[in-house]
Structures are given as structure tokens and as C-alpha cells.
Structure 1
């Protein structure tokens, strides 16, 4: 994903060349930098303590406010559908009644690019397979029965204790669809719509604070607005760093799979993050927007080709049937799953919730400013109804296809093939090599080794474009909404993204990445709730104005119509040549 097009709207008084230290908005830039740099130092100097601290905070959030994450994400879905399907849907995201800036096909492609990244490549096989190996506690599969499912050679048996493996496979895909379906995109609708309305409709600069102006008034120009932008910057940077951490662990796993390196080590991960971040910084310094756009389009083409390769060289008929079936099961279980907090499953339910649902809701919320700004920028001229329908439906459908092809291939191999993706660890519990499961699936297909190499390149390209775009969005927020932030600042934020990814990996690896996503999203979730209220207030006011104008026009049209009828019937005199109004005839 790359923010290759930028808004020209800016607040008055920000134009003109400035010294490097004045090109940023100090009250936002420096607190954000101190918070992030402080975390990096803490994690590097005392990784064990940092990991313990993150774990304690994450445990508190999951146990005490996990229900809050569940309900607000569902509320975001309701909000998105309400504004999209209701009478606000006719409002255009532009100052005038102008045509959409991008054609429908290009817009759909860029929407998919906004959601297509390292996360889908990393979790495409791994998530459904993890759910299949260790079912959700509510399914009632005890540890002994679960281990027995994988004790044989070459896949699993047809049944697995209280429920069949077929039922578990279906639940695995539905649960994955929940995490990557309309819920994350509803989160992006909340931020994207709020930003698009204030930027395109009201002419504000690209800054999160302005979306709260209808609610807070001029207070957004002071410390409250600064705090909002700081929360957005910290959340975005940690969200991007989480994705970068996932990506680099998968690259290391791929290199190990191809026997280019030995087992991945912390040193290797640090070297990879440093090298790829350096490439991203070069991209930032050169500022070749067309090059970044080209890389983003290349990402999409490569990802599509890999998906088609797996679809047509793998169990094609099974995957096509599974795709249709998965969508039906998702729609059937959507309401129940949306409010599922595993309340009756005890500690195991809370642990599962923190590892999966809470992690995803936190990750999406932390990514919301980044993706929201992007989809807001490309949606100028769209109606709110078009915006909501496009953002919710198109990326969701394509994500469902992606997970069916990759995750379905992994599950098919376990059910009907040679197995090998799920193994038993030293304690006899089923486990999945999360970072390497994609490569194992690809290796089982014709020409898989070549495709693995291409996939590693794809992950690196996603790393570069995500880092470049993320640093641009963060820099715009830290520069008071300037659409052309200084290059040195973009270099700084790109470097910080790499450092945070390194710090999180050293502080606890993938577990720390997941936990930090849950923690960092909490403050920005409050901002998002305020966004919903602020956006509804602004839309309601605009709707009221539109209704008054329509009523006035209707009255004028009715008056004109009635007057014309009276003139035709001879009951009033027509307008005089001097422009005087029609007058009623008097009897003589």
C-alpha cells in the first residue's frame, strides 16, 4: 500500500518555506517522538521487563475491557451501515457536485491495495490452520481429543472427538472471515469517512484533530487536538511496526526454508529489518512517487498471480466450493460471532480471545489513521453511500477469496492430503509453524520453490511501501496536516518504524507484536467513538440544511405552479411588464 496521491488542502497560514525545525508541529511531533523513543530504549535495555510489562497491561485489557473492544467494533459496523444506507448516503465527499476523482475500477483496485499487505501474506495460511489445530474453546474439544486428531501419519481422521474435523475446518474459516471481513473495514470507514468529509467537504488539512471540530469546536486547535494527533501517530507507528515485524519473521522463515540461512535468529531479524528499512528510507529521500506507485501496483500483480497459481495448481474444485460455502457460513454466524467474548470458557477463553479477536481489533484500530487517510484521499467525489459500499464490500470479498485459496489449501492438505502442516510439540500438543506454513503449502505445488522466492520478494516490497506510506501519513500528522512534509522528518519516522519493530521482536517476538497492538489501540478507540458522534453531528446539520433548501424550492415551485393556474383560469392578472407580481382581478 502506498499513499501516492496527496491532498492540497491546508489550513491558512501554513504555506511557504520554513526552517527545518519549524516545518513540524512541535506540540505533536516532539511528544510523539519522546513516547516512541522511550519505548524503544526501554525494550532494548530491558527486554524481559518490557515483555513482562506489555504482558501485564495486555492481560488487564483482555480481562477487564475485552468486552469493550468487542462491542465498539460491532458498533462501528452498525455506524457504517447506518450512514451508508440511510439518507446521509447521498452527500458527496467534495465541495461541489463534482465527478469522482478516480474511476470505479481504479478506486476498487486502490481500496484492495489499502487492505492487501504483509498481514494477508503472513496469515493467509497460518490463521485458518491455527484455528484448525487448536479449535476455539467454545467447540468443546479437550486437549486429549485434540492431540489424538493429529497423532496418526498423513493428515487427520474424519472425526475428532466431540465434533468432526469437518466442523472444525468450517469454524476455522468462519472465524478467520470474521477477523478479516466487514469488521476491520468498518473501523476504516469510521476514520476514512470522517477525514474525507472534513478534507474534501470542509477544506481542512489532513489531520485527525479536525474530524472532532464539530464536537469540540476551537478546542481542537489546542492541547486537546494535539493529544488526538499524538494518539493517532503513536497508534499508526506501532500498527505499521507490528506488520513489519510479522513480515520480517516470515522473510527469515522463507530464507531458512530455502536453506539460504540457518534457523532464524534475533540477529538475522535485526539485520533484515535494518536492510529493508534502509531501502524504505532511500525511497523517502528520493521522493519518487511514481516509483512507489509502481512498486504498489507490482505488489498487487504479484499477489494476484501467486493466488491464481495456488488456486489452479492446488485443489481447485474444492477451493471454489469452499469459497461459496464459507461465505454462507459467515453470513449465517455473523451476528453471534460479532458479540462473542468467550465469557463461559474461563481462562482458556480469555487466553484465546487475547491471542485472536482482541489482537485483531487492536491491530485494525491502530492501523485506522493510516488506512483511513489513504482511503479518504482516493475517495474525493464519491457519495457517502458509494464510499461505505466500496470500502466494506470490495476488500472484504477479495480477502475472503484470498483466505479460502491459501487457508483452504492448508486445511485440504490436513484433511485429505499428506498433512505435515500441524505437528505435535514436546508436550504432545498440536502446533503450527506460523511463519513458515505458507512456504510449506507452496512447496507442495509444482514449481513451488520458485514461487517461494517470488513470495519473499513480495513481502519485502510490501515492507518498503508500507514503511514509506506509513512514515508519510505520520509525518503529515506531525507537521500539522502539511501535505508536503519535510524529507528529514519522513526519514526520522521511517527509521522509528524499523526501531519499534526491532524493539518489539527483542522484547518477546510475535507475542509481543500481538500484545502491543491490543495495548496501543485503547486510547485511539476513544477518539474513534468521538469521531462517530462528531461525524453524525456534522451530517445531521448538513442534512437539515439540505432539507430546508428542498422545502424552500418546493414552496417556490408550488407557488409558481398555483399562480400559473390562477392566471390561466383568469382569476389573477399576469405579471406586468415592469416586473410587478400578478394581482387578483377586482369585480366592477
Structure 2
């Protein structure tokens, strides 16, 4: 094991956060919530500006003369097939979140917007906001950060670290080394805390589903059992080869999710859902760029709070996950051109997300507009239960609920495996294949942080903790972008 100051410091700070969360979970959540609210009120405009700028930058790089540059030496070939590559990046980036929020988020937005609009118009706007939160902006943040890491690692033959661009462009000076160390340290903390939050949300949803399917109490004992099973499940593949463990698990999770999606589309109000998807996609594509610059400056406090709790929180959440997802995507993307890379990372997952929310959210809106409205009632009581309440309205409800629980479990496991792998790479100075012992240590730290988030037992507070860990990246990512553009312009000039 390669031990250095970064590894020791990152493990120490991550462990302290985990200990704070275990000893005083609500204290950790409330402090994070207050700090994040202050940041959103003062810098919300900058967060939206940055997210939109990264999307525009990704479009420019894909269609420009830089698009044909290969990520790696000329003639290098991708390590993974396109299908396996997309499945792994998707499972690492958003998998469990889609299962958790697929029905609940559109209905939550609908509950707010209907106070200012008719129900059909509120449904259309709610779906648009959901697409905005999970679509091109999110994957552009991931894609640009991943491209920066991959380009400098494989084209410039630097390490798979966020510090590599700074050191490559500005040289090994005292100030660059200090700033580079800070970049890597903050990326470790953001990855660990952000992943732990998703682990907690996965446990929340799985325990709600199991309690309903098995007819047992939703008790702390059930939570502990699920959490223990999950820890065992992600520690085993952390000790195995990346392609052997992560690839197979992510492919299985994606297959279950796609099967569930097709079943709901066929068994549900197909025409209603397809009309919603087609019109919603057109509305989203037409308005996505202007909407990315929204800040709700002229709205009342309730709308501003809703905007901060959802859209702003998501943009900072994607920034929190960008070091983890970016480094992991970079690791599996050697040999692709910049154009192919950005198209695969941004377009394919966005289209799947739109289809996913169009189907699950479409069923929810159909129930509100033409049904009993039961799903809206369930959603107002518990976000964890909404997806399962939807599945109970369909045939084969036992099978589909078990499939959803299994997919959620696998998505959490693949996220922890990829995060543990990434943290081990950073902690060992960018080693592409860190030792199983280092990966296992980080898996244990992630488990402890996940336990702290579970003890907080409040999704909104968990999201605030994640957002707090990412605030620094609002300022770090623009510096990395400058490094990429400088290096690309020099390469083309030569």
C-alpha cells in the first residue's frame, strides 16, 4: 500500500465526518443545511451560470476541430465495448437516483406548480423541470470533468487526478503543488460524502419496498440488515478486477431497469406516456439553454425555496459527484475521440433519463389527471414509497417490486465499488489499478459514512450534506476548464 499525506488526511477527515454523523446525525444535517442555504442565496446565480457554460462548452468541443483528438495515443482502442462503457458510466453516475426519484420528483414539482397553474399545465412544467435537473446539464458537468481528467491522463500521460491539469499546464511550482494537493484532497471528501448520501437513499428505498412486499414492519432492524448485506455485497467486488466485478453488476442492473421500463410502458397507459415523452422532449430541447440561466429572482419566497431545494441542489450535487464520476469515466474511456466521448457521456444517458421519467412520471400524472390521485397522496407522505405504490397498480406487482429492489441494490453496490476504486486511485497518487487492500479500506470508510447518513434519516438533510461537500468545486472546475482549453489550443497549434 502506498501511504502518503493525502491518503492519511483524506481518511482522517472522512472518518471524522462519519463519526460526527454517527454521534450527532441531526447536528451534522442542520449545520450543513444552514451553510448550504446561505451559499445558494448568495451564489445561486453563479452555480446556474457555470452549469450552463459547461453544457455550451461540451457542445463546442464536440463539434469543433478538437473533437477528432483521441483520448490517448493515436491508434489506441477502447478497453470496453460501447454497451458496457455506457452501462458502467450510467450505473456510477445516476442509477439509484432514477429509481428513487422516477415518480416522486415529477409529482413533487407538480404539487408546487399547481398552486399557480392548471393541473395539465402544472404537469407539463413539472416534467420539464425534472428533465432540466437530470438531463444535459447534469451529464455535461460529468462529461467535461471526465474529459479533462482523461485527456491529461491518457493524452498528456499524467495521472488520473484532478491536480494533473494544473501541474501539466503551469508546471511544478510551489503554489501549483499546494493548490494541486488541495484539489485532490477536496475531491476525495466530496466523493466520499456524496456517495454516502446516495447509499443512504438506496437503503431508504429498499427497506420501504421490502417492508411492503414482505408485510413486515419498517424497523431499524430491517435497516441494519439491508445495510449489512449491502456492505458485504460491495466489499467483495472491490477486491476483484474492475472489468470482472463492476462491469457485470452494472450490466445486470441496467438490464433490470430497462426490463422494468418496457413492462410499465406496455402495461400502462402507453399512448398517454408516449405523447408525454415526445412533446416533453421537444419542449425540453427547445427551452433547455434559456432555462439553464434561470435564477427565480422575481418570484416569491416559496418558489425560490423550491428552486434552491431542487434545481440548485441538483446542480451542486452533480458538481459534488463530478470528481468521482469524472475520474471513473476517464478510467474506462481511454482510446475514444473527444467527439465520441462527449456524445456517449452526455446524449445517451440523457435520452435514457428522459425516457425513464417520461414513463414513470407519465404514469404518476395519468393517475393524477385521470385516476384516483392516490400516488400524489403517497408522495406527500413518503418519497421512498411512491415507486412501490405505482407498481402496486400494475399486474405482476410482486415481481416488479422485487426487480426494483434488486436494481436499487445493484446500483448502490456499483456506485460504491466505482467510488471505492476512484478514491483508492486518488489516495495512491493516480494508480490506475490500486491494490485491493486500499480499495477495501475506502469501502469501509464509505460504509461508515453511509451509516452516518442513514442515521440522519432525512432525505433533504442528506442532500444538504452532499451539497456542502461540493461547494469548493464551483470554483475548482472553471480552473480545470482553463487548463484543458490552453492545452488543447497548444496541441492543435503544433
Deviation at 1:408, TM superposition (A): 0.9
2:22 is aligned to 44
Summarize deviations over 1:369-419 as a string: whole Å, max 9, x none: 222123223332222122222222111111111110111111111111222
1:344 is aligned to 298
Q: Measure, in 2, the Cα distance between the counterparts of 1:527 and 1:470.
A: 20
Task: Determine if contact 1:362/1:520 at 8 Å carries over to the other structure.
Answer: no
SS at match of 1:208: coil
2:331 is aligned to 377
Deviation at 1:275, TM superposition (A): 2.7
- Is 2:111 the partner of 1:130? no
The structure carrying a bigger helix percent of its residues is 2
Q: Measure, in 2, the Cα distance between the counterparts of 1:100 and 1:489.
A: 26
2:368 is aligned to 414
The within-5 A match list for 1:242-261 is: 242-261=197-216
CA change 1:27–1:381 in 2 (3 A) is same
Deviation at 1:346, TM superposition (A): 3.4
1:323 is aligned to 277
Summarize deviations over 1:214-270 as a string: whole Å, max 9, x none: 4432148733222111111111111211111111100011012224431344x5434
Task: Determine if contact 2:135/2:353 at 8 Å carries over to the other structure.
Answer: yes
Q: Measure, in 2, the Cα distance between the counterparts of 1:290 and 1:100.
A: 16
Task: Determine if contact 2:423/2:442 at 8 Å carries over to the other structure.
Answer: yes
SS at match of 2:373: coil
Task: Determine if contact 1:276/1:464 at 8 Å carries over to the other structure.
Answer: yes
Task: Determine if contact 2:88/2:247 at 8 Å carries over to the other structure.
Answer: no
The within-5 A match list for 1:414-453 is: 414-423=368-377, 431-453=380-402
The TM-score with structure 2 as length reference comes to 0.94
Summarize deviations over 1:113-155 as a string: whole Å, max 9, x none: 44451011111111111111222xxxxx5xxxx4xxxxxxxxx
Q: Measure, in 2, the Cα distance between the counterparts of 1:179 and 1:305.
A: 24
1:120 is aligned to 98
CA change 1:279–1:88 in 2 (3 A) is same
Give the alignment partner of residue 176 of structure 1, picking from 123, 126, 130.
Answer: 130
Task: Determine if contact 1:213/1:534 at 8 Å carries over to the other structure.
Answer: no
Q: Measure, in 1, the Cα distance between the counterparts of 2:122 and 2:83.
A: 37
The TM-score with structure 1 as length reference comes to 0.80
Deviation at 1:287, TM superposition (A): 5.0
CA change 1:397–1:223 in 2 (3 A) is same
- Greater CA drift, 344-353 or 488-497: 344-353
Deviation at 1:362, TM superposition (A): 1.6
Deviation at 1:288, TM superposition (A): 7.6
Q: Measure, in 1, the Cα distance between the counterparts of 2:83 and 2:213.
A: 38
SS at match of 1:423: helix
SS at match of 1:431: helix
The within-5 A match list for 1:38-187 is: 38-135=16-113, 146=115, 163-187=117-141
Summarize deviations over 1:294-346 as a string: whole Å, max 9, x none: 22211111111111111111111111111101111112322332111122223
Task: Determine if contact 2:84/2:251 at 8 Å carries over to the other structure.
Answer: no
Q: Measure, in 2, the Cα distance between the counterparts of 1:232 and 1:441.
A: 37
Q: Name structure 1 gaps, 5 residues minimum.
A: 1-19, 136-140, 147-161, 425-429, 546-588
Detail structure 1 runs of 4+ shifted over 6 Å in the superposition.
none
SS at match of 2:328: helix
Q: How much is the aligned-residue C-alpha RMSD, in angstroms? A: 2.1
Which protein has the larger Cα radius of gyration, Structure 1 or Structure 2?
1
1:28 is aligned to 6
Q: Name structure 2 gaps, 5 residues minimum.
A: none
